[in-house]
A and B are shown apart, each in its own frame.
Chain A
Amino acid sequence: MEYEPVIGIEIHVELKTKSKMFSSAPCTFGEAPNSQTVPFDLAMPGTMPVVNQEAVIYGIKICSAMHMNIARTLYFDRKNYFYPDLPKGYQITQQFHPIGTKGYVELVIDGKTIKVGVDNAHLEEDTAKQVHLSDVSLLNFNRCGTPLLEIVSDPDMHTGQEAMKYVETIREIVTYLGCSDGKMENGSMRCDINISLRPKGSTTLGTKSECKNLNTIANIGSAVDYEIKRQTEILESGGSVDQETRRWDEALKRTVLMRKKTNAIDYKYFREPNIVPIDLDEGFIYDAVHSMNKLPNQYRVEFRQLGLTDYQIEELLSDREFVLVFEDCIKLGVKSPEILWNFLMVEILGYLNKNEQTLQDLKFSRDALVSLVNIVHAGKINSRQAKEVLAIMLEEGADPVKIIKDKGLEQVSDTGAIENFVDEVLACNAQSIADYQKGKDRALGYLVGQVLKASHGKANPTLAKELILKKIRPCGSNK
Chain B
Amino acid sequence: MQKIGVFVCWCGSNIAATVDVEAVAEAVKNEPGVVFSANYQYMCSAAGQKLIQDAIHEHHLTGIVVCSCSPRMHEATFRKTAESAGLNPYMVEIANIREQCSWIHKDKEEATAKAIVLAKAAISKLRNDTPLQAGTSAVTKRCLVIGGGIAGIQTALDVADAGYEVDIVEQRPTIGGRMAQLDKTFPTLDCAACILTPKMVEASQNEKINIISYAKVEKVSGFVGSFKATIRKKARFVDETKCTGCSLCTTKCPSRKGKNEFNMNLDNRGAIYIPFAQAIPNVAVIDPEQCIKLKTGKCGLCEKVCSAGAINYKQEDELIEREYGAIVVATGFKPIDPSPLNEFGYADNADVVTSLEFERLMNAAGPTKGTLLRPSDGKHPKTIVFIQCVGSRCEENTKRGKPYCSKICCMYTAKHAMLVREKYPDTDVHVFYIDVRTPGKNFDEFYRRAAEQYGVDYIKGMVGKVAKEGDKLMVQGSDLINNEQVHIAADMVVLATAIEPDPTARSIGTMLTASMDTNDFFTEAHPKLRPVESPTAGIFLSGVAQGPKDIPETVAQAGAAASKVIGLLAKDHLVTNPCVAQSNELMCNGCSQCEKVCPYGAITYVEKEVRGPGVREVRRVAQVNPAVCQGCGACTVTCPSGAMDLKGFSNKQILAEVDAICRW
Verify that A and B bind, or say they do not.
no
